[in-house]
Structure 1
Amino acid sequence: MTRAAERSSELDLSNLLRRARVAARALPRAPRSAALRAVADALEADAEVILAANAEDVAAERARGTAAPLVDRLALSPARLSGIAAAVRQVAALPDPLHRVLAGWRLENGLQVQKVTVPFGVIGMIYESRPNVTVDAAALALKAGSAAVLRGSANALRSNRALVAAVRRALAGAGLPEDAVQLIDSPDRALVTQLLAARGQVDLVIPRGGASLIGHVVETAKVPVLETGVGNCHVFVDASADLEMAERIVLNAKVQRPGVCNAAETLLVHEAVAKAFVPQTLAALAAAGVELRGCERTRALFPAARAASEIDWATEYLDLKLAVRVVASLEEALEHINRYGTGHSEAIVTRSRDAARRFEEEVDAAAVFVNASTRFTDGFEFGFGAEIGISTQKLHARGPMGLAEMVTYKYLLEGDGQVRT
């Protein structure tokens, strides 16, 4: 029997979920903010252990030949770990999302109706690589009064074990049930299937990762799914753009962290500024290590670019690769984005108020930027403290999902003996 099979056989998922349900019942009235501050302290106190575990995961991925941007998604540093702890403290400082009255009214028969926020209960999180998601998911679920059951990818298992151990110890020390945060400590994919089929034991599952992971969860889940989406994001440089600003934005959107979902994957350039903009900007991108793939008009201005195919326009590279197309108009840019975009993040660089407003109105995406990088689509950057993921769907939640999206609601009705006739 393999080690994965042994660990899977030892892991009783039904029992784990039962313990999570018991823990969840204690959370709504528990001192959750104080517990989160303790979690942040524990992450910093365990920094040496966490970083050592992460270094093993990173070394294993490098030995497998994993692309550098994907290794970067996995890697922690002292600064990144401090940022994770800071995000937990920011979540702790946010207003309690529970017990808020969203609406209230009195019926003609005298019944008083209130619509009040409540926890989901048990939230399952299935995600790839990035260990910061382990802490973000746990912190947001806890603040929202729900238990978190976490299933990260096999290549981050050592990191996740160390992170969850610190979180659980902090919860116990703060008087909360440590079973409010649990790790599915096995790379066995059969456990994911079990989690997705656990109707009545799991109230919500949130997948976060690539298209194949999200597609698998959405297609096979028997429990409710809050879908996060992939990011085939675009930057459009309009005819009236400040070209120096546009180059800064394009470089940031592609190069600053290429392995994340809000990085730009396609650059669209209006033909009126293509001759002035394309050669210089593509040279700067190439100097930064970006592999360029362009349409015929792009390659005429920058011959070093490879020919782009239909697949390139539809691809989320998550790498130092960029597809480039020269377009004849704003209309053509909008048509391209709405055909190939994934509804994540789109940006226009323009001096034209009319072009900006039309772009904002006609682009179908969760986040639309004017004269700014797509890299800002992030719960922390939006002031949410942290995010559980970025939704590209339109039901319940869209865009970065913070605390407001981590609760549901129920109706409370109070009367004095009313009966229906």
Structure 2
Amino acid sequence: MSNLIEQDWEKDLIHTFDLNSDFSIKTVTLFDQTVKVYYLSSLVDLTSTLVTWDQVISATGEDNHSLARDLLPLEFTVDGSYQEVADSLVKGKLIAKDPKSGKALVLDADMWPLNRSISASENENPLQSSIDGFTEKLDTNIGLIRRRISNKELVIESYILGTNSHREIALIYMKNASNPKVVQSVKDRLNRNKHKDVIHVNGLLQVLEQPKYSLVPTYLTSELPGEAVQNLLDGKVVILMDLFPNAYSFPAIVKDLWSFKLDLNYPYLYLLFFRCIRIAGIAFAIIMPGLYVVLNSVNPELLRIQLAISVAKSREGVPYPSFVEVMLMLLLMEMVIEATIRLPKNIGPTITMVGGIILGQAIVQARLVSNLLIIILAATTISNFTMAGYLNTIGIRIFKYVVLVLSSIYGILGLQVAMIWLFIYFAALKTFSVPYLSLSTKGKSPDD
């Protein structure tokens, strides 16, 4: 068939991508043959690709006038399915037209580098550990894990998710450590929901059929390869997503609230000390705001008379009930935390620190809140961030408002009921058949 006659797949391809500014059609010469190629210039580096091909052809010493497919990085030949051609194009492949048959040849091509080099973690602070962090490129992240686990039991499986937008992910687990039920459940859900598009982490959670509303996360996230490796050794299943610099470990258990995996780099006594501090921080973050309201407004008789008088004096002149006072300051502190996260790193901490000090001092002097509440607020905020993992801190930040509301209505009884409800909720929560109150995910499930 003449090279000048357009095939059906060519017409469909041009019609679909013609409005895209990065869709390119070039004519190149290989073995004295004129070959038309189609590619996306935003993904494919054509110059580098042609240089690579010339090097391969020169090394073989072949001198013929055919396309010589065996010398080129040919992935497969498309006989007429336009959908296969389009899918390959958007994945960064180069589509060449066979000058003899007119068929579409899907060839591997050199792509523009889309990922940053391996550098330190941006959002996590590793101590007593290597400082490298995951990048956006999936193969690089897999390599960081492979270098740390030289074990034949390590299994890495690849999946392509999505219909409109394809996303490559890697499922990683240790055959000798992971729970077979968990691994099989994850595989089944990936295969069952592979048609769903995964644009963000919520998309992955939908594919894995995780609960939409959950007080605590059912997974762990980390930028540190060392943390992900330890999760694998502890029996968790790790998922890496292309173009995401994080590892997602399933399932999460209650121990993950206070246990950093990198704590294992410290002597055992130090490890216990750190974890006790975090457990105390969790209790402080949940209980302190509600307890302040209980001792001020509902059940002041729980305090000794001298302390009750001191607490009452600290609120002298404050026009609001203690519940409104605490709620107002907690919401203000939430805004400060969010502003610290969203502002540029070079000015964010300075602005929020200065603003917090000035605002706090002004509020106290205006007698809108008590001095004691400022102390409670500072202790609660610091305690929030002692626990392991940023996602875990968000769940605790939300739950303290539940404790606060119940405490303001029912007093010390409401505080106790809120804590009992929390433990009942934890006891009922399961992820991939693993109870949240398990202390280990290694080996068989506790309910086997």
Using structure 1 for the length normalisation, give the TM-score: 0.27
User: Which structure shows the higher strand fraction?
Assistant: 1
TM-score by length of 2: 0.26
The structure number with the bigger radius of gyration is 2
- Larger RCO, structure (CA 8 Å, separation 6 or more): 1
